[in-house]
């Protein structure tokens, strides 16, 4: 892990600081990681990009759970529901890994040498 031991004091307005902090929080990065990543021209990925996908995945999962309950109660006959449930679980895990990997990449890029 790279240790940052150099300090670059900068001056910003209150408004600029608010914007920087808001954008850093949105990217789930510290202020330092955000500023270094931006200064080095690295892409800053927003985790919100995955929110609609995860929301839809949760809705699908809820529907599958409701169908499972109905099938177990004998109210409806569903074929291959277990396979579908497992596939949705794998998709959810994969999406969470993508989100975590994107955050780690942003931090790692900010620590890498620019050359």
Look at the chain and report how many structural domains it folds into: 1
pLDDT band at 18; cut points 50, 70, 90: very high
pLDDT for res 111: 55
pTM exceeds 0.85? no
| Within-domain flag for 8 | no
Kindly state the tokens that stand for 27. 């990217």
Domain with 45, as residue range(s), is 14-111
84 domain-assigned: yes
pLDDT tens digit sequence for 24-73: 998 888 999 999 989 988 877 666 667 787 788 888 888 888 888 888 88
22 lies in a domain? yes
Is pLDDT at 14 greater than 80 in this prediction? yes
CB-based burial of residue 79 (10 Å sphere; 0-12 exposed, 13-18 middle, 19+ buried)?
A: exposed
């Amino acid at each position: 892990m790279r240790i940052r031991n150099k300090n670059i004091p900068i001056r910003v307005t209150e408004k600029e600081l608010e914007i920087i902090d808001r954008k850093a929080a949105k990217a789930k990065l510290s202020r330092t990681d955000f500023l270094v990543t931006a200064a080095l021209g690295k892409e800053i990925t927003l985790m919100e990009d995955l929110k609609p996908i995860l929301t839809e995945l949760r809705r699908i999962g809820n529907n599958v759970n409701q169908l499972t309950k109905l099938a177990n109660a004998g109210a409806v006959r569903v074929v291959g529901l277990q396979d579908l449930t497992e596939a949705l679980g794998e998709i959810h895990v994969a999406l969470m890994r993508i989100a975590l990997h994107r955050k780690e990449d942003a931090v790692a890029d900010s620590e890498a040498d620019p050359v």
